[in-house]
Structure 1
Amino acid sequence: MEEPIGAHPWLRCYRCWSQDLEVQVHYEGIHRIDPATGERAEVVDEIQEAVVQCLECMHDQPHLTFANGRVEAVEDRWERMIAGTPWVASCTVTVDGDDVETCSGPEAGDALSYAAFGDHGTREFFTHVRFHKHEDGNRIVVHLLVELYARNIEEATDVLETAARGHLTITSLAEESRPPAAAEDRH
């Protein structure tokens, strides 16, 4: 017997706590065709990408994934994002210049965030690149403000350190309050 939806505390937006979610699935596949029936005979190659999004606040839900036809929690992330609070860090990440796709134009913010924190920088964290500078050789120092969710300062620091793709320096880290809609629903 399946558990009712309410039994899944992770099945909500980590930002506004809405349960009004949707999954956007993008599928690409190559399939052999059975010449006798015209039906799909075997899968040669397939790729499925999915993003769960909140329909209330339109934020992606990086603590959720879509697998085996259903939305599931990402085990190493969901408790931190649902039970945690937002933390804001001012930091720098020094990366190899070859890891930065572009550092000018409209895509520069995402490219620098990705170079600094990988997928975390573009999908899980709210990042704002304040500026960047080129240093000796082929190094780029990216100065960012980062909002992430964690249960305490140690966990916030660990998440930043784990995600950083270069030398990380945290100049400040402060806990913020949860958005009002989530705070009201927690009781």
Structure 2
Amino acid sequence: MGEPEPEVGSWLRCYRCWSQQLEVNVTYEGLHRVDPATGERADAVDEIQDSVVQCLDCMHDQPHLTFNDGRVQPIGNRWERMVAGTPWVASCTVTVEADEVEACSGPHAGDALSYAAFGDHGTREFFTHVRFHKHDDDRVVVHLLVELYARSAEEATDVLADASRGILAITSLAEESRPPAAVDDPHA
């Protein structure tokens, strides 16, 4: 038998301001056969669902939450780190193979370089800022500032190392203060 689900109130909140005023944006694409006798939708050939949970108070996406089977659910132990942790900012480089980088210039270069360095974590969980990059033979060295949430410097280092898709070098790591918690009526 698996671990019991944590209490809903402990994870169903914004990791930045702790507000429980959340919404989920669900995008669905489906390819379905059509029943020739009725014209109704029949068997699903292919279905894709993507979702983003967002805080209505601070408008930040909630990468520790997902939408599955009709309800919002926590993602693994990520919610513990993000809700109970504090922000950490790392200055680092990640060296990746050049063919892992989709674009080095243009409007999507920042996301492409962040993705090459940290995969989905670099575009969905971490706040990344690509300072610059350089080409070194068949490799690209991406210099980034990364904000992530963790409960300690060791955990922040481990999370970055686990997410890295190349050779990671952390030049500095500093704990920041947590943003203020949301209040019931911010306009009162």
TM-score if structure 1 supplies the norm length? Answer: 0.89
Return 5+ residue gaps in structure 2 as ranges.
Answer: 1-6
Aligned to 1:147: 147
User: Where does residue 171 of structure 1 map in the other structure?
Assistant: 171
Q: CA RMSD in A?
A: 1.7
1:7 Cα offset (Å)? 4.1
Partner of 1:82: helix, strand, or coil? helix
Matched with 1:61 is: 62
**1: CA distance, partners of 2:8 / 2:113:** 39
1:19: Cα distance to partner?
A: 1.3
Structure 2 distance, partners of 1:77, 1:17, is 15
Q: 2 CA distance for matches of 1:158 and 1:77?
A: 13
- Look up the match of 1:134: 135
- Aligned equivalents of 1:157, 1:12: Cα separation in 2: 25
The residue that corresponds to 1:110 in the other structure is 111
Which residue type is aligned with residue 175 of structure 2? E
- Between the aligned partners of 2:26 and 2:8, the Cα distance in structure 1 is 24
- Structure 1: how far apart are the matches of 2:123 and 2:8? 30
1:50 aligns with 2:51: yes
**SS of the residue 1:88 aligns to:** strand
Give 5+ residue unaligned stretches, structure 1.
1-5
- Counterpart of 2:155, as a letter, is E
Partner of residue 159, structure 1: 159
Q: State the SS of the aligned residue for 1:12.
A: coil
The one-letter code sitting in structure 2 at the alignment partner of 1:110 is D
Deviations 1:87-117, CA, capped at 9 Å, x for gaps:
1111000011111111112211111111100
Identical residues among aligned pairs (%): 78
Separation in 2, partners of 1:41, 1:129: 47
